[in-house]
Structures are given as structure tokens and as C-alpha cells.
Structure 1
Amino acid sequence: MKRTVYLWLLLCLPYLLPAQGKPGYFALKPGDWFDMQITKHKDNDYYPVMEPLLQFQRQYVLRYQLRNQLPNGNQQYSITLERVVAYTPYSQKFGWMGYDSYYPPYKQGLDKKPPKGMFRLEITANGEIVSLTADKDQPPLPVMMTSYSPQKQVGISIRSTYSPIPPEELHPAIEAMLKLRSINNGIPGLIPAKTEYEYAQLLTGASFPVAGNTLIKGTLAHAHKKQVEIELGGSTFSFPINSRGEFYCPLLLTKPERRYITMENNGGYVFLAPGDTLIIEADADTSRGWQPRKLSGGAKWSSMLAEEVNNIFYGDEGMNTMYRNKTLQEVLNAQESANARFQAVLQTYEGKASPKSIDYFKTNWQYRIADDWLVFLYTHGYQVAPEKRPFQGIPEMITTGIDTMPVAMNSYHDTNFSFYHQYLDWLLIYQQSRISLSAGGSSEESSFYSNYFVLLSMLKGYPLYYKLSKGISESMKANSFVKNQRLKPYFEDFIRNCDDSSIIKPIIKDWKLMEHWAPGNTMPFPILSLANGKTYDLKTQRGKTTCLIFDHASYFQDSALVKMVKKHPEVTFVFAWINEPGFNRQHDPELGTLPNFSSIEIKNQGDKNYEVYGIAEMGKKNVVVLDQWGKIISDHIYSDDNIWDDLNTAIDDAAKAPRFSALQKAGVMNIIGWSLGSILFTVLVGIWIYRVRIQRIKRAEAMKTAIRELEIKAIRSQMNPHFIFNALNSIQSLINTSQYKAANTYLVKFSLLLRSVLHNAEKNMITLADELATIRLYCELEQLRFNFSFEMDTPEELATDLVDIPGMILQPLVENAILHGISSKGKAGLLRITIGKQHAALLIAVYDNGPGYHPEAGNDSHKSVGLKLVRERLQLFSIAGQTASLHISNGNGTTALLTIPIESV
């Protein structure tokens, strides 16, 4: 049987293999995606330099997602237009023009984000494009470029509308990507612009691991640590150093980066762009004095430029305008001197460092100069001289420099471009102050809510979303959960408008952290980590109202605190403070004498202080009131000049707080109701499953019984072809020897036997009389072949025509007795069938005087199958708990004893 199955599998194998399908051109599985950034510009680079000329740059981010892998090897993709960026310094007079789909025109009350454009792509297993079409249900929408300069001129609006990338222009870019398939059928990481439409392409992300496109490698001699660290994109990456001091750092860059690499005491700034290689040789041994690093590779000169420029930007030689005692002329003189040094450095590296690195630092320098002007004006109340009014007499070079800076379309705005972000912050203060002072107001900053509509009216694109995200974040972290419910519509509105995940994800994370402080919740962190390595369990304060004060270098007035602690002796005050160098944490000695006051120094978690303690930054505090069961009553309680009215109110509310609020009681009842309903539902489902299972079991058993009966019928219908063949041969032999009378007799018996078998073939149960009559005919025909003696003994009191037994249950036993017991003995052979009754069981003994039954001596397949079939049929036949059985014993022959339970007859 097994050989037959294996033969069929072997024959069908060539037909089964094509059904698995050919492998696709890219080694992806359905659902996998990858993002390709493509840039159109005359420089044919991933991030080209934007010169202040009449130029136009387009950049797209396309997300390819494999939808179907066809059997013929073709792959079908959906291509989503994730991002569209276009900008140009259209005119210095009217400002920069630009558009970025990550930051669309802001709409209040937006239900959901508008759909993105989509294309449909199919490629063959050989990387040929079968079809590329725009999705008719989601076509790319036209975009509108508009002026983004802070300078505004009444009655002038500059706009330009254009269509994003069409399929015929996208086609050659896809062809270029297909031609540069990487090793192991992967996605190419870097594709230079060599197509008709001059698109440079860059792999920026995927749902699967991708190889780095930029490399830093080298050696660090005499290293004590076993790794180097690179700060990149807000994260720190660590790479091991081997025993020879070598390190190898592959990075996946999606934009130009100026970052710091830590190499013990010999680190420094580097500048890298996608596709760059930088080789560093350094020495960590300072016993011989500091040894300068040796740089080589494509990013050598750009990294050297980054180090020198950093000294001008941030070093002691840099400009310092933070002091009120500087005059405007002193600021301008300092700027002129610093600018001369900066230009000299740039000139030194012209033609050596990459154009994009020089462009990066030029742009950075412009914002550095504007920051100094804005900070100077702010610190002097926007007065350039004491005798002049605010905003009077400011040199035109300063106002023009501030107002004509590219605000939204800075091509490096999504990097860690600190001067640009500082410029946006100071620019908004500058503009708001100018409007407020011109209307007779003050120049002080106000809250997020008062700034909201000012932001919408003054800013567009990235600056608007940056300032909104910063305003939402600062307001959220400074206020309590209850007060932040007013902020929630603005938060949700922002999430629906913005498409930049780098801005959205941090705000969503902080919002979820803020929701932990909802009144009625338990403390998010009941166990505090102390600075000495121990822990403090707030559960020890259960049973009384607790006022918990998280303080990070804030100016918390001790006199007000002493007054508050004395006013509420029933309240436990826990002052949890973080040590900060330069701040004295020694309190009024009187606090130490108060029994309901304790002070603990908690561990400084750095950037995670808000996540752990609810403290956003240094100089902030979080005052929390807990009731006697440890539930939050109020958080981030605010004081006005150390007058703690809100704190007193929260303490009074804590004293009145019930064990369970009405909402919690309703919740408990709701849980009980749902639990009981769930239990009832579970019971009903269990009953239904049990009944279904029982029905399935019955159907399965019925099917097994039906299959077994079919097998029995099949065996019965065959009636041993060998026996029929031999019987016909014996009758033919009688005819050939002219024994016509004997032949006629046996032929009549043979026909009667066949008729009996055919008549009972469809019956599972037949009478014992019919079974014995059939067996007698069978034995008489076999006597013709083997000439043995045959006896059948049936008691007269047994009504054989009233007893039902399984049809043909005796035939295999009789056949075995004849063939394997007495066939070779001739006239000496004896076959005896004895019928008896004992209690409610029918006993049938089949005896032969053969050599005996010895299954260990050999295995006759027919004999074994016949006995197995008899036993299996007997297992299905039982009455009143009695079980049918077959027992075979040896003793001067073989006796097969059948025990079949029957009804009393």
C-alpha cells in the first residue's frame, strides 16, 4: 500500500510543483511594504543643494506594498503617494514658495485625513513592468504651492497649482529601481538619477530589516570600553569594538545628518549624508596628550568642516547676546567678526567638503544670526536704545533678515536643526509682541489657547505644526488631567491634520501618560525608586489623605509649605525631590520637626521624569493629592505665588471621598451583570457545543459502523474467489470423469450457497438457522475438495430461527479450520461445529483436529484479517452490557469459541 502511495506522489510531483508558483522579482511576501524617496532636481542627488535662484525641486515618498503574488511569478503592488514636497525661492521679494503634504493647510473640525494618491503596479518575475496606472478611486490630488515667508504684503498672494507625479513620469523611476535589484532579490537602497526624468531614489524605510546605506568604520587604539556610540536622529546607536580596536558601523540614513560620535575621550562631530563612507583612526590613550583623529573616506572633509563650524557656533568665540548690557552695535560687531571667521572656514573647505554639507552649515548660520537678533530684541524689550519706543529704529537689515528667512521650506527642518527651531520660537514671540504692542498691549507670552488662533493666522506648513505640537505638549504637561480635558479637542484636531509621525507619536505617548492621572485612578507608580538604590512604597500611607510633591529644582517656598503642613495635621505630606547640581535642597529645619512631613530624594530618570513622576522638565513640580485608599483626587495642582487654594480644595475633597464613587459602583454592578450574563451565555454555549459534539460523535460512530458494514458486505460478497474457483473446478472434474449425478448434486448445492449469500448480503443480522444452513452448504462443497469429516450439533431446545446473529460471522472461522487445520489430512480430518446456550449468550464452537493454532510461527495475512474482522464485528454487537467475544484454544486440535449475547429465547 505504501509503495503505491509513494509511486503516485512521484508521478504527480511534476504537476504539483507549478502549483506552488514561481518566485517573485523581489523576495517579499504579501503585506510587506517599503518606502522610496525620489527627488527631481538638476543636481541628481538624494538631497540636492537649494541655491537662491529660480529653481524648482520636487520630492516624493512612495510606499510600495505587495498585494498579490501570482502563480506565474508576477507581483502586484499598490503604490501610495505618502508625501509630496515641492519648493522654490520663487522671489526674494515675495518669499519662498512651497508645499508639503505632511503639513497641509490646517482645517478645524476635520473628521479624518484626506485620502492619499495611489497607483497600481504589476511586474513580471523578470522585473518587467506589465502595467502602471493611477487608481481611479484614489487618484493623486493637485497640490497648491503658496508663499511661506513671514514677510506679508497687503493685497499680494502668491500661489501656484500643479499636479503631482503622473504615471508616465513615474514609469522610468520604477524601471531604474527594478534594474538595480540588490543581492538576494532585495530592494536597492541608493539609486542615482540616470533616468529621463532625473529622479534620484533613496530607500527610507520598510516593514522588514534593510541594510545600511552609510558606513562609519575605523580603529580606536588603547580602548577601555568595548563600543563606540553615535547619536543619530534622536537615538544613540552602539557598535562593538573587537580585540584589534576595530569597529564597523553601518547606518541607514534618510537625510543629511550632523551628529556626534563618542569614542571615549576622542569623540567629535561628523557630517554624513546617505551613501557616505567615513573612516576614523583615533587613540583613547591620553597619557601622551590628546591625539587628533585621522579621517578618510568620502565624508572626510565634510566631517572636518562640521568640527570647525561647531567651534564657531557654540564655542567661546561665538556671539553672546543674552546679556542686557550689550548694545546693538556690539552685537553687530560680534556678528561681523564671527561671520568673517565662518566665511573663512567655508572658503577653506570649498571644493573639498560636499556641496550639501556647505549648504547645510550656510543655512544653519543664517538662522544662528537671526536667533541672535531676535534674542537681543527680546531681552531689550524690542528697544534698540533707551530713548526709542519698542520696534522703533530697528535697522532694516535686521528686520529684512528676520522677515525673509525661509520659514517652512527649510530643506533640513526635519533634522535636529536646533537654530531653525529656536528661530521659529523667537519669531513667534517677536511677531506677537509687535502686534500686541502696536495695539497698546504688553509683550508677555500668554497661554496656548490665546496663541492658538494667532498661530493659525501667522504660520503655515511645518512651522505651524511644530509650534502647535510644542504648545499642546507644554500645556498638557503643565496642567492637571481635569484641565487638560479642555485641551483634548485641540489635541485630536492636530492628530487628524498632521501626517508627520515623528511629531505625532511623542504627543500621543505623552497624552496617554497624562491620562494615567485621571481622578479615581490609583498612582501610576506606587513604588518610588530612591537615589540611594532603595525604594519607597506609597501603599504604606494608606488609611489617610496623602499629599505627594514631586519637585525638580523648582522654587518651592518653605514658609508656604510649613504653613500648609501645619494647617492639615491629618494629612501625610511626602516631599519627593530630585537632586540637581547647583540647587540647595536643605529645607527649613522646622519641617523636620513636623510629624506628618517626610522628605525623600528620588532617582533622577532624566528624559523619563515625565513618564515616571509627571515632571516635564527642570524647574517644574507635580503636586498630587491621594485619598485614604490611594486614589487620585487631583494632580499637577497649581499655586499662584505659593497661595495653595487648589491644594486646600483637593485635600477637603479627599476627606469627603467615598470608598467607591457612583461611577465605580455603577461599574461594579455593570461588571456583575455582565458576569452573570456571560456565565449564562457560557453555559448555554457549552450546552450547545456539548450537543453538537455528541451529534458529531454519533455521526462519526455511525459512519465508522457504516464503513465497517460496507467492508463486511464487500468481503461477504466476494465469498472467497479462490473457494468459488476451486468449487467450479471440482464440479468440472466430476463432469469430465462422467460423474454427472454427483456433479449435478454439487452444482445444485453451489447455486443454493450463492443464492443464500446474495440474499443475505444486504442484511447485517440474519437468523442462526440461515447462517448454519449457509455454513453447511459451504462445508459440503469444501468436502468435495478435501474429503474430510464434518459434524454439526445443534440442541433441539434452541429455536435457531428466532436467534439473530451477524451474517457470515462463522465463515472466516470455518474457512481457517479447513484450510489451515484439516486440508492436508484427507479422510482423517474432522470439522465439528457445536451450538450451545448459556444464560443469555449463544456459544458456537468450531473444532478441527489439525495441528493447532500457532500465530507466533508465522503470519498468514488472510487468516489474520479474517480473525481481526470477526473480533471487530463482535465489538459492535452487545446486549444488556454483555460483550461478544472470540476465544481460540489448542488441545488435540484447535477450538474457536464464539460468545454472542442474545435475548432470551
Structure 2
Amino acid sequence: IYDFWKEYNLFFQNFNFNFLYLDSRKIKYSGFHSALANSESFFRKYKNQLPAPVYDFVTTELRAFLLTGAIHYLTMQQRLNLPLGRPYFPEYEEVDFEELENRVNEFYLHRNYNDYGIHSRQLAGDLLDYYFLKMNRTGNFINPGQFNAPVQSGWRYFGDLLQKVELTKTVLTGHALYSQIAETLLQEKMNTLDYSSKDQRIIQDEITSYFDLMLRLVNNKEFANAIEKLMENHLKWQNEDYVPETQFLNPVGETVYFSDFFGEKPTVFYITEIWERERYFWDDLAKDNPEINFVLVMEGNNFEDWQNYVERAEPVAYQLFLANYNQQLRNIFKKDRYHFIAYDKEGERIGFGENPIDVMNLAKHSLMVKKKELNRSQLIMIIAALGVVLVAFFIGVLIWKWRVRLRFRKEQQQRRLRELELTAIRSQMNPHFLFNCLNSVQNLVQQNKGREAHLYLADFAGLIRKVLQNSEKEEVSLTEELETVEQYLNLEKLRFDFDFQITVNEGID
């Protein structure tokens, strides 16, 4: 690789198997064309010096890199043909676009593709974007640097996902096809934070169906496993109670979890792969809103560099670091760059967003909701107390009515008892008996038997008195009852002249 760049004076093009960017500022078409035209003869000199797998892999990556450069020039030409947004292209007259077009058209990507080659994948993406750009016919009058078309290139994807996938099938095949479709679907899924709208739910259902179809057709188990993990991760985020259990590091090297921030304040997590992006604005938010936890989540492969950077920055917001040796932010969150996640203080997710102010307001609103819930609980307590008072009042009214009714019944019973007593008196003092007694007294008076009449009246008065006294009692002793009976019989004896004897069993008390 070093000899190749040295031979054609392209060493400073920053070619690296782990570096995707082709620095167009340093490209000279003359040197690039020479490398492109003589690359195959140069490669053959090393064919017997390297193991066959190594030779095939390296030459395939170099071809992919050169074809990426050709597509770069062709892309510039396409943009020059647009009505607006023409970029500065000083080498336009020198470039043989027809030759580059022929080389791109004659290149069989599926025969020159490394599944694990970073430049093979880059070429597949650039080739796809180039063909999509060729369909572009309209410039953007609002922003000349962007393009509007049925299909857009680069990181900008059009709304019709089905059309994008079908067009990809016409350009690519094999592993390159699956990789690019998977990347397209993943970007669409990552760019969608809110699934509340019907359109977004339809798009997400389409993405899921494509991934399911891909899992049934693809033969690469590693590729299939990666898709399954991504799908599982996005499925987890549909649950509002989901909190990642990933271990992060704070600036002093301690292990920290998302859940460590819950309990006292709502928390807003800022997920970004760029350490310095909006750092100071984030710190200002943390200063101005102490009632909220602001956490900046980043990734990298060198903790010490990040630690030194954080120490120099003297941040106010919390800082978390993910060592991306085994996993990356995109494997944990819905997207790996520039988005925010808000949780209330109990750890329940309350929203996603790409605007920090909007997400911060969600966190603030969660505090207001808690206060309103507190006021609501107080209102419920007041209502409950009033309810208890009303229930007690109704119970009191019922008890009062029951007691009044009971008193009324008692009075009725007493009235009835008096009536019964009078009835008993009337039954005991038969009118005929009274008349007969008075008639007997009259006869004695007429016969000038004053003493007998006096005794008879005394017995008659005593009987009347006893009957009236006994009528007031619920129970009468046997002695009193016998005296009453004896007085009654004595009165009757005067009229009918008979003898009587009252016998009582001695065992009766």
C-alpha cells in the first residue's frame, strides 16, 4: 500500500483501512488518473510476494478506493448540471468524465467486494448515492447546498422507503445489497425517535418487515446476528420503563449506571459521539436548571484521553464515557448521535428529542405534574374528609330517626298498655256487678240496716281500691289476689247467702 501511494504521489490522500474519508482538497486528477490507469499492472508485481487471501483483500480494497475517487468526480459533474448549488470545481476541464463513467459501469462490485472491507462498503454506498443522484433533476431554491429529488444522496433519505429499497436492488447485489439496505433501514429507524404518528408507525412496520425478510434470506450468520441485536435493542426502547443497564465510566473511573441518577431529580441524557459538541451550552443548562440532572454520554476508545479532556473542560454537567471496544452507542440507544432522553425522578422515560430545550421542558413538566398530583392528593383527602363528615351526618340522622321511631313505638306501647289496663279494670269491675252492689246497699238502707250498709260499702270501697291499685302493677302477689277474691265473695254472699272456704296448697309461697 505504501509503495502504491509513493509511486503515484498519492500518499497524502489519507488512505487507511479504518478511515472512510477521501480528502477531496488534496486530490489532483492527473495523479489520480495515472493511478487508476496503471493500478492493475502495479498490483501484478506483488501477486507472488503475498499470500493469495492477503493479495485479494488488499487489491480489492485499493480498487474500491480508486473507484470511490472516480465516483467523487462524477458526483461533482452531476452537481454542476443542477440549476443551483454548483460547487467550485477547478479541474473540470481536465477530467475525462466519459472514461470514469465507463470504468464505473464496467466495474462488477459483487466480484470485487470484501465483506469486511471498509472501502468496499464505502464504495457500495457511494455507488448507490451516485446512481440516485443521477435521477436528481431539481435544485433547492431555499438552500442551494441541498438537493430535492425523488431520491436524495448521501445521508439525506427521501420519504418513500419502499422506493429506496427497490432502487437499491437494481444497483447492488449480494452482501453489498444487504449491507446497504440494512444501513438505509437502520438510519431510518435511528432517525425516528417518535412513533406516535400513524405515518411513522407505518414506516417502522415496513422496516421491521424488511429486516424479517432479510433474516430469512441472508446466509451470513454474523450479519444476521447483528441485525437481530439491533432489532432487539429498538424493541426494548418501545417500553417506557426500559432503562439501559450498560456500565459507563465517570471522569474518576468509577462505574456508573443510568439508574444511579434517579430518585431525587428528573434527568436528561445527551447522547453524542462528539465530545465537544454543545458542551458549553449543556453546562449552561445545568447551571440554570439545578432541579434537573444533565448528563453528557459519549463514547471513545481511549479513556485517559477523554479523562484529560474532561479535566481541562471543567464541566458542570455530569459526564459519562463508554469504551467502545465491544459495543457502541448505536448498539445501546435508538441512535448514536445527537439526541436526548428524558426520565422523571422515578426513572420512567418521559420522552426523546433532538432539541435540548424541548426535552428539558419535558423534565420540568414532570416536576409540575408531581406538584399537581400532590395538590390532587390533597384535594382527594379533603373530599374524603367531607365524605366522612357526610356519611357521619347521614348515620346520625338515621340514628336520630331510629330513636324517634323507637320512642314513638314505646309511647304507643304505653298507650296500648294503659288501654289494656283500663280494659282489665273494666273486665274486673263488671257494670252489672257494680249495679248489683249499689242496689244491695240501697236495700239495706231501706230496711234500716245502717250498720250492715256501712260495712257493705266499706268492703265495696276496699274492693274498688284494690282493683285500681293492682291495675297499676305488672305482677300481683298471691296474698293480695286472695284478699281481693275474699272481698268480692263477701259482697256476693250478702246477696246470695252462701258459705265459702278458700284453700291454698301449703307448698305455695
Instruction: Normalising by structure 2, report the TM-score.
Output: 0.53
**Retained in 2: the 8 A contact 1:478–1:616?**
yes
**What residue is the counterpart of 1:453 in the other structure?**
163
- Say if 1:361 and 1:530 are closer, same or farther in 2 by CA, change over 3 A: closer
Match among 323, 334, 342 for residue 625 of structure 1: 342
The structure in which a higher percent of residues are strand is: 1
- CA shift, 1:455, in A, is 4.0
**Retained in 1: the 8 A contact 2:68–2:122?**
yes
Query: What pairs up with 1:584-599 in 2 under 5 angstroms?
Result: 584-585=309-310, 592=316, 598-599=317-318
- Say if 1:328 and 1:634 are closer, same or farther in 2 by CA, change over 3 A: same
Match among 208, 223, 226 for residue 492 of structure 1: 208
- CA shift, 1:401, in A, is 0.8
- Say if 1:587 and 1:379 are closer, same or farther in 2 by CA, change over 3 A: farther
- CA shift, 1:621, in A, is 4.1
**Retained in 2: the 8 A contact 1:549–1:621?**
yes
- CA shift, 1:427, in A, is 0.8
Write the distance in 2 (CA, Å) between the matches of 1:615 and 1:379: 33
Write the distance in 1 (CA, Å) between the matches of 2:74 and 2:45: 28
Is 1:654 aligned to residue 366 of structure 2? yes
Write the distance in 1 (CA, Å) between the matches of 2:201 and 2:321: 30
- CA shift, 1:653, in A, is 4.7
**Retained in 2: the 8 A contact 1:448–1:472?**
no
Letter matched to residue 405 of structure 1 = F
Match among 398, 405, 411 for residue 100 of structure 2: 398
Query: What pairs up with 1:413-492 in 2 under 5 angstroms?
Result: 413=113, 415-436=115-136, 438-441=137-140, 442-443=146-147, 445=154, 446-447=156-157, 449=159, 452-460=162-170, 461-462=173-174, 463-480=176-193, 482=195, 485=201, 487-492=203-208
**What residue is the counterpart of 1:330 in the other structure?**
31
Write the distance in 1 (CA, Å) between the matches of 2:138 and 2:93: 13
**What residue is the counterpart of 2:224 in the other structure?**
504
**Retained in 2: the 8 A contact 1:476–1:511?**
no
- CA shift, 1:337, in A, is 5.8
Write the distance in 2 (CA, Å) between the matches of 1:572 and 1:543: 9
Query: What pairs up with 1:282-293 in 2 under 5 angstroms?
Result: none
- CA shift, 1:518, in A, is 3.0
- CA shift, 1:517, in A, is 2.5
Write the distance in 2 (CA, Å) between the matches of 1:364 and 1:371: 10
CA RMSD of aligned residues (A): 4.3
Structure 2: gaps of 5 or more residues: 14-21, 82-86, 141-145, 148-152, 374-509
Letter matched to residue 232 of structure 2 = K
Is the radius of gyration larger for structure 1 or structure 2? 2
Write the distance in 1 (CA, Å) between the matches of 2:166 and 2:94: 27
| 3-state SS of paired residue (2:245) | coil
- Say if 1:509 and 1:392 are closer, same or farther in 2 by CA, change over 3 A: farther
| 3-state SS of paired residue (2:347) | coil
Query: What pairs up with 1:490-639 in 2 under 5 angstroms?
Result: 490-498=206-214, 499-502=217-220, 503-518=223-238, 520-525=240-245, 528-530=248-250, 532-536=252-256, 538-539=259-260, 541-578=262-299, 584-585=309-310, 592=316, 598-610=317-329, 613-614=332-333, 620-635=337-352, 637-639=353-355
- Say if 1:506 and 1:343 are closer, same or farther in 2 by CA, change over 3 A: same
Write the distance in 2 (CA, Å) between the matches of 1:323 and 1:492: 37
1:308-339 CA deviation, whole Å, 9 max, x = no partner? x6864899965725232433223213444655
**Retained in 1: the 8 A contact 2:74–2:100?**
no
Write the distance in 2 (CA, Å) between the matches of 1:542 and 1:456: 49
Letter matched to residue 439 of structure 1 = T
Query: What pairs up with 1:193-208 in 2 under 5 angstroms?
Result: none
**Retained in 1: the 8 A contact 2:299–2:328?**
no
- Say if 1:415 and 1:579 are closer, same or farther in 2 by CA, change over 3 A: closer
**Retained in 2: the 8 A contact 1:615–1:621?**
no
- CA shift, 1:559, in A, is 4.4
Write the distance in 1 (CA, Å) between the matches of 2:310 and 2:133: 37
Write the distance in 1 (CA, Å) between the matches of 2:226 and 2:218: 11
- CA shift, 1:507, in A, is 1.9
**Retained in 2: the 8 A contact 1:579–1:601?**
no
**Retained in 1: the 8 A contact 2:295–2:320?**
no
| 3-state SS of paired residue (1:324) | helix
Is 1:372 aligned to residue 46 of structure 2? no
**Retained in 2: the 8 A contact 1:579–1:585?**
no
**Retained in 2: the 8 A contact 1:544–1:572?**
yes
**What residue is the counterpart of 2:485 in the other structure?**
none
- Say if 1:391 and 1:455 are closer, same or farther in 2 by CA, change over 3 A: farther
Write the distance in 1 (CA, Å) between the matches of 2:38 and 2:67: 16
**Retained in 2: the 8 A contact 1:518–1:632?**
no
Write the distance in 2 (CA, Å) between the matches of 1:470 and 1:540: 33
Question: Number of aligned pairs?
Answer: 332
- Say if 1:418 and 1:621 are closer, same or farther in 2 by CA, change over 3 A: same
1:846-866 CA deviation, whole Å, 9 max, x = no partner? xxxxxxxxxxxxxxxxxxxxx
- Say if 1:607 and 1:353 are closer, same or farther in 2 by CA, change over 3 A: closer
- CA shift, 1:423, in A, is 1.4
- Say if 1:429 and 1:527 are closer, same or farther in 2 by CA, change over 3 A: closer
Structure 1: gaps of 5 or more residues: 1-308, 593-597, 662-905
Letter matched to residue 354 of structure 2 = Y
1:574-597 CA deviation, whole Å, 9 max, x = no partner? 3344466677446766x53xxxxx
Identity rate, percent:
10
**Retained in 2: the 8 A contact 1:322–1:376?**
no
Letter matched to residue 629 of structure 1 = E
Write the distance in 1 (CA, Å) between the matches of 2:6 and 2:227: 30
- CA shift, 1:554, in A, is 4.1
Q: Which has the higher contact order (CA 8 A, sep 6+)?
A: 2
1:463-515 CA deviation, whole Å, 9 max, x = no partner? 44321101122333454363774542222221343210534331221121123
| 3-state SS of paired residue (1:459) | helix
Letter matched to residue 457 of structure 1 = L
The structure in which a higher percent of residues are helix is: 2
- Say if 1:526 and 1:393 are closer, same or farther in 2 by CA, change over 3 A: closer
1:785-834 CA deviation, whole Å, 9 max, x = no partner? xxxxxxxxxxxxxxxxxxxxxxxxxxxxxxxxxxxxxxxxxxxxxxxxxx
| 3-state SS of paired residue (1:449) | coil
- Say if 1:314 and 1:510 are closer, same or farther in 2 by CA, change over 3 A: farther
Query: What pairs up with 1:291-306 in 2 under 5 angstroms?
Result: none
**Retained in 2: the 8 A contact 1:381–1:390?**
no
- Say if 1:501 and 1:491 are closer, same or farther in 2 by CA, change over 3 A: farther
| 3-state SS of paired residue (1:544) | coil
Write the distance in 2 (CA, Å) between the matches of 1:616 and 1:476: 8
| 3-state SS of paired residue (2:108) | coil
**Retained in 2: the 8 A contact 1:473–1:507?**
no
More off after superposition, 364-373 vs 467-476: 364-373
**Retained in 2: the 8 A contact 1:610–1:616?**
yes
- Say if 1:552 and 1:358 are closer, same or farther in 2 by CA, change over 3 A: closer
Write the distance in 2 (CA, Å) between the matches of 1:490 and 1:628: 35
Write the distance in 2 (CA, Å) between the matches of 1:391 and 1:468: 36
- CA shift, 1:548, in A, is 2.2
- CA shift, 1:424, in A, is 1.1
- CA shift, 1:546, in A, is 1.3
- CA shift, 1:658, in A, is 7.0
1:178-231 CA deviation, whole Å, 9 max, x = no partner? xxxxxxxxxxxxxxxxxxxxxxxxxxxxxxxxxxxxxxxxxxxxxxxxxxxxxx
Letter matched to residue 267 of structure 2 = T
**Retained in 1: the 8 A contact 2:74–2:97?**
no
Write the distance in 2 (CA, Å) between the matches of 1:481 and 1:607: 28
Write the distance in 1 (CA, Å) between the matches of 2:89 and 2:252: 56
